[in-house]
Amino acid sequence: MKKSLRLILSVVLSAVLVLSLAACSNGNGPAVSSTPTSTESSEVSGTTSGDSESQPIGIITAMSNELKMLLEKAEISETKTIGGVDYNIGKLEGQDVVLVQGGIGKAMAAAGTSVLINEFNVKSIIFTGIAGGVGDEVKVLDEVIATDLVFHDYGNQTNDGFVWNAEGGVNEDGSIPVDKDLSQKAYEAAVSVLGEEHVFQGRIATGDQFVASSEYVTYLQDEFDAIACEMEGAAVARIAAQYEVPCCVIRAMSDKADGVAHDTYENFGDTAADNSAKIVLTMLQNM
């Protein structure tokens, strides 16, 4: 090949390379993973970015009955489906929100939380839904606002049975934090909706199990000092902590996680779900 032709070819190839790299960095290009060079940083900021006035609040639930009232009250301007899950963008009680029924269990909750943070740049996250009452004093239709959470099913299965492992959490004791201010706002809203005697603040235990066993309730009390159990809260809080996005977990008791939990849940689940949603509405009004 002639020297001049080689030169033209290499200029054209370089231009194509530069243009395609520019397209990728604009977010218009294909999803590619790149290995950073020694002069690039591979770290992306963990926190959400932007003007918090214009950032929406993310509201996530597991089930449709937990989101129903909020969807009915909201003015939804757009719905984006990501990974088969609908993210409803709009206004609720004067606040910009993204409402999502993330799905049941830790995996779906973590995925939904990650999308709220990374696709919608939410400034905070509120989980609302129902749970099983674990604390002796916590009755059906009472409300629990998480002070922190644990993954009760994270650990090792051994010949001596299950051994819980604190490494699933954030703090040394294995607990996962929530935002104090946001949780306090949730508590105040809950008290104004239900009355102080029906609202508790304490630890919530999360696992991929519907708990319907008095024996396991005693275990959750003794091992974790938990006052409620459910299947998503700690996963939401774990991902929110990872990205340093404030979050809170609001749960109404649909049952007592005991031997008759399935029946109690059938009877009280919808009312409990609505109670938590009302608390979210009040919280948004007060913000």
Active site residues: 66, 255
Stretch that binds ligand ADE, among 53-61, 94-102, 205-213, 240-248 (CB under 6 A): 205-213
Q: For residue 246, how many C-alpha atoms fall within 13 Å in the half-sphere facing its CB?
A: 14
Contact 264, 211 (CB under 8 A): no
Binding flags for ligand ADE, 55-84, as an x/- string (CB under 6 A): ------------------------------
Of 59 and 273, the one with the shorter C-beta distance to ligand ADE is 273
Residue 210 lies near ligand ADE (rule: CB under 6 A)? yes
- Asked if 132 touches ligand ADE (CB under 6 A), the answer is yes
Nearer to ligand ADE, 126 or 229 (CB): 229
Q: Does 135 bind ligand ADE (CB under 6 A)?
A: no
Cα-atom radius of gyration of the chain, to the nearest Å? 23
Q: Could you tell me the smallest distance in angstroms from the CB atom of residue 254 to ligand ADE?
A: 5
How far is 150 from 203, CA to CA, in rounded Å?
A: 8
Residue number, 127 or 243, with CB nearest to ligand ADE: 127
231 binds ligand ADE (CB under 6 A): yes
**CA proximity to 170, closest of 237, 118, 82:** 237
Residue selected from 265, 279, 283, 284 as contacting ligand ADE according to rule CB under 6 A: 265
CA distance 149 to 175: 6
CA distance 198 to 255: 14
State yes or no: residue 145 binds ligand ADE (CB under 6 A): no
Among 128, 175, 254, 275, binds ligand ADE (CB under 6 A): 254
The Cα–Cα gap between 162 and 94 comes to 47
Distance CA 238, CA 223 (A): 20
Q: 205: closest CA among 188, 191, 190, 222?
A: 222
Interface with ligand ADE (CB under 6 A): 130-132, 210-212, 229-231, 254-255, 257, 261, 265
